[in-house]
Structure formats: C-alpha cells, structure tokens
Amino acid sequence: MKDIDWDVYKCFLTVARGNGLTGAAQVTGLSSATIGRRMLELEQHTGRSLFNRSQTGYTLTADGRFLFDQLQDMEAAARKLDHWHREAEGQTTVRIAAGTWIAWLLSENFPAIRTERDAFRIDLHIGETRANLAYREVDIGIRAFEPEEPNLAARPVGLVAYALYQRRNAPEEKPGRFVAVSEEDALSAYLRWPHQNAADRIVAFANRPRSLLDLVRAGAGKGVLPCFVGDLDPELERAGEDIPELAHRQWIVMNNDDRHRRDIRTVADRMTKLLKSHADIFAGKRPSRAL
C-alpha cells in the first residue's frame, strides 16, 4: 500500500467521530466534497470498505472500526510525545473544544483564561460535534450532558437556557419571520427547534450558528439563541419566554489521566470560575437592563 499522508488519516478520524461529512467539514474547515473525495481515496489505497454510507450519515464497517482503533492509539501516543517535547521547551498547548457560543464567551473573556504570565498556549476548537477526550483529541471539552465514557472527569457548571430573540423594537409581524441554521447543519436541539416549530416561516438559513446572531440583529427574523448571548446583546430583545424543553446542564470534561497536568488544571479552574460567574444569565435570569 502506498504511503498515506497523516492529514488524510486525521480526516478519517474526524468523519468517524462525527458520523458524516457535515460535522467533519465544521471541524476541519474543508468542504464536504473534499472530505468525501479523501475518504474514497483512502478506501482505494487500503483496498477496504471503511464506511457504510446512507442518508443519515457514515457508519464504520468492521475494517473501518479496526483502522479507527489503531489510529486513535497512534494519535494519543503522538500527542503525548508532542507534549513531552513542548514541556521541555517551556511552552505547552491546552486544547479546548467548545460549541459556537461557549467559544464566543471564552474569546470575549480571553484574559480570564490565559494571562501574559502563562507559558502555555490555547488552541480553541469550535464546533457543534462532541469531542473525543478519551483519546485526547482535546484536553478540555464543554458538554451538554455528563459523560458516560470511562476515564473522563467532569465538573458541572450550571444550567443553560434558550429563548426566541428579535431585533429590539422590531415592528410586530404576523405570523412572523424566522431565521435558522440549515437543517443538515442543525446538530443541536436549539438549532432544530425552528425546523420543528416554524418550518414554513423560515426566511433565511445559514450553515453556522454564529450567523444567527447577525441575522437577528439585522431584523431578518426571529431566532433561537442561548440566553447568555441574547440577553447580553443590547440590540436584541426576547420574543417570548425561555423555551423549557431546550434547557440543559453543561459540564467541563477532561481526560482523567491528564486533569492534574498543571496547564490543563489551571485553564479548567479558570473556565469553571468564568462560567459559574455567568450562572444566572446562563440559566435565563435576565440582567437588570433587560427587564
């Protein structure tokens, strides 16, 4: 078999973890067509069928699962070796996986996560798919549920509420327009809500959740947002009460073997402090200016 570039293998891991091309495209920044082509080329190189392809996504065949397990072991070993080298050089990297809006909050408050005195760097992975911490894909993840995988440690950091928002002082419309993430990209419950409750009133789609905020600000229509995003934006107002069925708890998750590493522990402690300081607004309790 010809040598295969490690980037192709990493792409394979991303597709396998996300069960398809859409999630992999969000993680890698490559187009779905490019990723699909790489997977076909990988199958041709290996001479094996690696995926069962269907309208609902990609699932691994027995050969695909074997390759996946081997590559995860290689990936974990490579990352441990990389950390060992960087530690000797005095500069390590802490990799954080977060959804669109937690990543936005971390970026807005970056000095609370990393100070000028810190030697480590931050590598922020933004996406709606779940990161695999068991094999050290990242060091710290934010999840909407307590992890079930073995060897993961979790810290609860409060409740997240969601509501429908519109541009402040927007004229009343009947029946009202909505904006949404395209259905194939709606990986979270709040992103699916407009499709399930107002499909015939959606007037604009985007393929990334971050664009919802801009569309609502522009008055394109109403959109579902986390309360800690919508309630803190002076250009927006709620178009109703919070949506109870979308509320969920969130957790900071780490690999149990790595959580005592000094740089990871430092960042996790700071993230915990930041998220808990926003506990009320996360839970949908509006700031005084919004009342």
The domains of the chain, with CATH numbers, are 6-70 (1.10.10.10), 91-158+248-290 (3.40.190.10), 162-246 (3.40.190.10)
One-letter amino acid identity for 284?
G
How far is the C-alpha of 142 from the C-alpha of 103, rounded, in Å? 10
Q: 191: which 2 tokens?
A: 């992103």
Asked if the bond preceding 150 is cis, omega within 30° of 0, the reply is: no
Are 83 and 25 contacting, i.e. CB atoms less than 8 angstroms apart? no
pLDDT in tens, 113-132: 999 999 899 999 888 776 66
Strands 248-255 vs 140-143: parallel, antiparallel or unpaired: antiparallel
| Per-residue model confidence (pLDDT) at position 290 | 42
Q: How far is CA 180 from the centre of its chain?
A: 17
Span 80-99, average pLDDT: 76
Q: Phi and psi (nearest 5°) for 113? A: -100, -40
Helix (H) or strand (E) run with residue 229 in it: helix 227-230
Query: Averaged over 25-29, what is the pLDDT?
Result: 80
The string of pLDDT tens digits covering residues 156-198 is 999 999 999 999 988 876 678 999 999 988 989 999 999 999 9
Q: What is the distance, to the nearest Å, from the Cα of residue 123 to the centroid of all Cα atoms in its chain?
A: 13
For residue range 129-152, list pLDDT tens digits in order: 766 665 567 899 999 888 887 778
Q: Buried b / exposed e across 189-227, counting CB within 10 Å, b at 16+?
A: bbbbbbbeebeebbebbbeebebbbebbbebbbbbbbbb
Pull the structure tokens for residue 286. 């509006």
Taking the C-alpha atoms of residue 192 and residue 286, their distance in angstroms, rounded to an integer, is 24
CB distance 210 to 179 below 8 Å? no
Give the C-alpha separation, 149 to 137, whole Å.
Answer: 14
Question: Rounded to whole angstroms, how far apart are CA atoms 96 and 114?
Answer: 12
The pLDDT tens digits of the residues spanning 221-270 come to 999 999 999 999 999 999 989 999 999 999 999 988 788 888 999 999 99
Residues 6+ apart with CB under 8 A from 219: 166, 167, 170
| Mean pLDDT taken over the chain | 88
291 has pLDDT over 60: no
